[in-house]
Structure 1
Amino acid sequence: MPPAETRHSGSQSVNPDDLMIEFLEAQLAADEQTARAAQPGPWTIRQTGRHDLAAIVEDTGRQTRHGVPIGPAIASLDGSAATRNGRHIARHDPARVLREIKADRDLIAAYREARAYYGANPHAPAGELHGLLTALKIRAARFDRQPGYQEEWRP
């Protein structure tokens, strides 16, 4: 698969795949900045004994004799969905976000490497390049509510 058709904007040529990757990299940078500004994690949930109260705490691996996690509090939650929301928040702690960002950046690097190879070898079958680009589109689609996302990138 050859690289996407290049658009010409004034005196500059712009590859639409490059625009999508730039958009994805900007979203990853914003997520990384947010994750690094937060308490690093891992996080866990500490229930207070009431179904409508919970706390997100740093997971120190220590527990009370009743199995309640011991760690500095990160956030308190209340309301009928406190426990469910707390589990979700704890599961998506900054450490996990940073691992996902690294995986996305590795995927971008693999795509760029494949694109360079297939660009230099235009007669080679390019299924790998197509697959990597599709994977990047899938990963970028989770940011479809962010300004700058283009529907043409949707897989």
Structure 2
Amino acid sequence: MTIIEFIEARIAEDEQIATKAGTGKYARWDYAGDCDSASNGEVYYPDTRTVIRHMNGHESISYDCVTCDSEGLTPSVTEEIGPHIARHDPARVLHEVEAKRKLLDLSRRWLVSRGGQDGEMSRKNALDILRLLAAPYSDHPDYQKEWA
């Protein structure tokens, strides 16, 4: 397996998992913290906002949650973890997939560029980019040490 094939496979896995995790109103996640009674301190889908009208005339807001404890009463994530989970929502991962594919295409073009000093520099840059794209997946069993 080449480094390019390895990166293509990992990007495809990331895309598949992100697509399964959320599309449409479930693609974007948010976290408001414990102070927000509408999300109850959970990571939630902001596009699922529901206004609940109570018998006493008051209104409250509710969201579908990404995280939730079994009873739905107390937050299942902490203030340190919630923002991290929300920041890496499926929508962001799919944007990263797109960017990684563009870097991969750029690297391919540089690898097949003409010779000469500029060609050597392009080749070195391409290999550097490929190593950097592979690095986050270094714990994968197909990762090869020489790519580090």
Normalising TM by the smaller chain, what interval?
0.7 to 0.9
Task: Give the count of matched residue pairs.
Answer: 128
8 Å CA contact 2:31–2:43 kept in 1: the answer is yes
Q: How does 1:128-147 map to 2 (within 5 A)?
A: 128-147=122-141
TM-score in terms of structure 1 length: 0.70
SS of 2:82's equivalent?
helix
Aligned-partner residue type, residue 107 of structure 2 = Y
Hey, what's the Cα distance between the residues in 2 that align with 1:116 and 1:130?
12
SS of 1:84's equivalent?
coil
- For structure 2, the residue ranges without an aligned partner over 5 or more in a row are 52-59, 70-74
Rate the CA distance shift 1:69–1:32 in 2: closer, same or farther, 3 A: farther
Hey, what's the Cα distance between the residues in 2 that align with 1:44 and 1:38?
14
Hey, what's the Cα distance between the residues in 2 that align with 1:69 and 1:130?
54
Hey, what's the Cα distance between the residues in 2 that align with 1:69 and 1:43?
16
1:114 — aligned with what?
110
Hey, what's the Cα distance between the residues in 2 that align with 1:48 and 1:128?
50
1:42 — aligned with what?
28
| Cα drift, residue 47 of structure 1 | 3.2
**Any runs of at least 4 consecutive aligned residues in structure 1 with deviations exceeding 6 A, and if so which?**
61-64
Rate the CA distance shift 1:107–1:69 in 2: closer, same or farther, 3 A: farther
2:43 — aligned with what?
56
Alignment partner of 2:95 out of 64, 78, 99: 99
Q: Percent identity?
A: 30
| Cα drift, residue 70 of structure 1 | 5.1
Hey, what's the Cα distance between the residues in 1 that align with 2:46 and 2:123?
40
Query: What's the Cα RMSD here?
Result: 2.8
Aligned-partner residue type, residue 30 of structure 2 = T
TM-score in terms of structure 2 length: 0.73
Rate the CA distance shift 1:60–1:100 in 2: closer, same or farther, 3 A: same
- For structure 1, the residue ranges without an aligned partner over 5 or more in a row are 1-17
1:85 lines up with 2:78 in the alignment: no
8 Å CA contact 1:47–1:55 kept in 2: the answer is yes
8 Å CA contact 2:49–2:64 kept in 1: the answer is no
Query: Per-residue CA shift, 1:96-143, capped at 9, x if unaligned?
Result: 1111111111011111112222xxx22252212311220220121110
1:7 — aligned with what?
none
2:116 — aligned with what?
123
Greater share of strand: 1
Hey, what's the Cα distance between the residues in 2 that align with 1:96 and 1:149?
24
